[in-house]
């Protein structure tokens, strides 16, 4: 039904760009940037870029007891290794994303952040070698700057290469790779430590283990370099980005980000705080309320990660095929509310609730993050993802503290009610997104086919208007409708630019300021 109105528009539309003649290696599937095989090679690299960061992030967690005994730390000192990673990123994610857009560009940005990852991990390891705790904390800080901004860069790459194609699946796959990274870490680090401890002991051993772990960061850096090469080549061959040259993101653009983007960020916070802080406090809850043994409690606690590692790419694929992101977001929030209610108000075995929660969480992650790319033009995307991630980091950091206090003073039932409250807020926000989206273009809840048609019709309408403006040069373009409508500055500038014959950037439109309709491909 939504697609019907554009039938006419479709006819006016100029034919999509003709396929470029490719010769040599580029003609083969593995080297041809427009071929899916080549894209999936890039995807593999994108996932590996994140691997080092997720592997090393949980190094302290995997070796907690060894850290505490070898370095003579207290538990609260140990916590610094995580808080010095996460707190600065409340701000730095945003800065990192903005720098990608404004200064470095995606390729250089990714390389720089991957390099920071390596440097941070090496400093961290040296802190172990020299038994200097402050050096370790410094290392974690540098590592954090690199790691979180790298995640933003990773999102950007995904959008650049996969928007309008398998974007949701790619987001899902990146997420499951993150899980794989931390799972591998938890399984590998202890045997590695035991092996190294045959040759070194004490803090030296920790240092050496961390240096060995830093090879994963080196691998990330190499992947970032390869990816930059591939992207450069693809850009040259596909002549990508030509229309948007000259568009530069400004800090003040942030205030013009559409309301839907901010609402998406709100969902990010309100949903994720009901998942991760809960997992952090979950073990005792499962042990005490459901009489689980510590082993079982750990299993049920990690079930969410295991399920999400498998389910996110698959569910992403589903969202790719069906579209309707907002619908899926609402569904997953509803299901999550159901799961938390099961945990809070019943004694049904948590395996049920946590398994369903795992699926709902994966669905949300695969459907929510790509929505940002639909409402924000490409040249602002780094900033936008940076903001979303910063806001999420802030929410998680604050709520984790608050949740701990709630448990200690009022118990798990109230904690669950607290999380349910956040989930209802998330649901409310996503309903609001749905309404706002319906009022404007409705692109978020379209099927992929409708999105394609919509984008084309937008291009056609633009072309039509431009033609009209350029052709007339008289008052003939002023319709009675125009005279009755109040004009925005934007609209007037548009008309002026058109009249003097200046080319209009494709994303200039009266209806939707700051929206790029063109799928990036």
Q: Which residues would be at the binding site for other proteins (CB under 8 A)?
A: 5, 281, 284-285, 287-289, 293-294, 324, 327, 330-331, 334, 337-338, 341, 344-347, 407-414, 417-418, 420-421, 424-425, 427-428, 431-432, 435, 439, 445
Which of 5/229 has CB closer to other proteins? 5
Shortest distance in whole angstroms from residue 411 CB to other proteins = 4
Which of 202/404 has CB closer to other proteins? 404
Which of 387/433 has CB closer to other proteins? 433
Which of 108/432 has CB closer to other proteins? 432
Which of 178/363 has CB closer to other proteins? 363
Shortest distance in whole angstroms from residue 4 CB to other proteins = 9
Shortest distance in whole angstroms from residue 371 CB to other proteins = 17
Buried-state track 423-435, b at ≥16 Cβ within 10 A, e below 16: bebbbebbeebbe
Cα 388 to Cα 73, 127, 151, distances in angstroms: 34, 32, 12
Buried-state track 167-200, b at ≥16 Cβ within 10 A, e below 16: bbbbbbbbbbbbbbbbbbbbeebeebbeebbeee
Cα 326 to Cα 251, 391, 421, 451, distances in angstroms: 28, 20, 20, 14
Which of 34/77 has CB closer to other proteins? 77
Which of 27/413 has CB closer to other proteins? 413
Which of 31/335 has CB closer to other proteins? 335
Shortest distance in whole angstroms from residue 42 CB to other proteins = 34
Helices (H), 163-201: 167-196
Which of 261/422 has CB closer to other proteins? 422
- CB 98, CB 374: distance < 8 Å: no
Distance between start and end Cα atoms, the chain: 26
Shortest distance in whole angstroms from residue 263 CB to other proteins = 13
- CB 269, CB 391: distance < 8 Å: yes
Q: Is 473 exposed, middle or buried (0-12, 13-18, 19+ CB in 10 A)?
A: exposed
Shortest distance in whole angstroms from residue 295 CB to other proteins = 8
**Using CA atoms, how far apart are residues 317 and 171, in angstroms rounded to an integer?**
10
Longest dimension (CA), the chain: 87
Shortest distance in whole angstroms from residue 250 CB to other proteins = 30
- CB 42, CB 206: distance < 8 Å: no
Shortest distance in whole angstroms from residue 89 CB to other proteins = 25
Residues 6+ apart with CB under 8 A from 176: 308, 309, 310, 312, 313
Shortest distance in whole angstroms from residue 259 CB to other proteins = 16
Which of 408/489 has CB closer to other proteins? 408
Which of 103/414 has CB closer to other proteins? 414
505 sits in which H/E element? none
Shortest distance in whole angstroms from residue 424 CB to other proteins = 3
Shortest distance in whole angstroms from residue 9 CB to other proteins = 11
Contacts of the segment 373-376: beta carbons below 8 A, 24+ positions apart? 373/159, 373/163, 373/167, 374/325, 374/443, 374/444, 375/258, 375/260, 375/261, 375/264, 375/443, 375/444, 375/515, 376/257, 376/258, 376/261, 376/514
Shortest distance in whole angstroms from residue 425 CB to other proteins = 6
Which of 402/417 has CB closer to other proteins? 417
24 φ/ψ sector (left φ>0, alpha ψ -120 to 50, else beta): left
- CB 274, CB 340: distance < 8 Å: yes
Shortest distance in whole angstroms from residue 284 CB to other proteins = 5
**Using CA atoms, how far apart are residues 94 and 117, in angstroms rounded to an integer?**
17
Which of 130/347 has CB closer to other proteins? 347
- CB 175, CB 307: distance < 8 Å: no
């Amino acid at each position: 039904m939504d697609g019907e109105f554009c039938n006419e528009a479709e006819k006016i539309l100029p034919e999509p760009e003709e396929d470029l003649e490719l010769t040599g290696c580029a003609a083969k599937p593995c080297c041809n940037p427009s071929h899916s095989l080549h894209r999936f090679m890039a995807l593999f690299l994108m996932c590996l870029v994140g691997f080092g960061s997720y592997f090393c992030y949980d190094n302290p967690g995997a070796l907690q007891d060894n850290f505490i005994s070898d370095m003579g730390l207290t538990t609260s000192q140990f916590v610094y290794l995580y808080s010095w990673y996460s707190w600065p990123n409340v701000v730095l994610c945003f800065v990192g994303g903005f720098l990608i857009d404004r200064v470095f560009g995606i390729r250089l940005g990714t390389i720089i952040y991957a390099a920071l990852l390596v440097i941070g991990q090496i400093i961290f390891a040296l802190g172990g070698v020299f038994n200097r705790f402050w050096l370790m904390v410094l290392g974690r800080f540098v590592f954090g700057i690199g790691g979180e901004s790298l995640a933003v860069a990773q999102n950007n790459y995904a959008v650049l290469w996969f928007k309008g194609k398998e974007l949701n699946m790619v987001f899902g796959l990146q997420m499951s790779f993150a899980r794989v990274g931390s799972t591998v870490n938890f399984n590998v680090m202890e045997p590695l430590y035991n092996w190294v401890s045959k040759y070194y002991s004490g803090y030296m051993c920790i240092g050496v283990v961390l240096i060995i772990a830093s090879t994963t960061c080196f691998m990330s850096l190499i992947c970032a370099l390869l990816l930059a090469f591939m992207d450069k080549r693809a850009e040259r061959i596909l002549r990508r980005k030509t229309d948007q040259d000259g568009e530069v993101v400004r800090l003040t653009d942030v205030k013009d980000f559409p309301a839907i983007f901010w609402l998406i960020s709100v969902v990010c916070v309100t949903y994720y705080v009901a998942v991760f802080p809960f997992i952090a406090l979950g073990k005792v809850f499962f042990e005490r309320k459901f009489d689980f043994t510590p082993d079982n409690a750990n299993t049920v606690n990690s079930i969410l990660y295991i399920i999400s590692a498998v389910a996110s790419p698959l569910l992403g694929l589903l969202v790719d095929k069906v579209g309707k992101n907002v619908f899926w977001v609402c569904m997953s929030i509803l299901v999550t509310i159901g799961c938390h209610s099961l945990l809070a108000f019943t004694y049904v075995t948590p395996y049920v609730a946590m398994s369903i929660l795992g699926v709902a969480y994966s669905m949300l992650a695969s459907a929510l993050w790509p929505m940002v790319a639909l409402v924000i033009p490409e040249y602002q995307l780094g900033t936008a993802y940076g903001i979303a991630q910063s806001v999420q980091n802030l929410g998680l950091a604050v709520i984790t503290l608050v949740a701990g206090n709630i448990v200690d003073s009022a118990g798990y039932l109230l904690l669950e009610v607290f999380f349910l409250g956040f989930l209802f807020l998330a649901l409310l926000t996503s309903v609001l997104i749905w309404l706002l989206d319906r009022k404007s273009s409705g692109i978020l809840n379209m099927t992929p086919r409708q999105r394609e048609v919509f984008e084309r019709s937008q291009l056609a309408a633009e072309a039509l208007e431009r033609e009209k403006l350029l052709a007339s040069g008289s008052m003939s373009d002023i319709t009675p409708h125009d005279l009755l409508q109040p004009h925005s500055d934007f609209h007037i500038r548009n008309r002026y630019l058109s009249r003097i014959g200046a080319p209009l950037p494709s994303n200039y439109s009266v209806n939707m300021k700051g929206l790029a309709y063109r799928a990036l491909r």
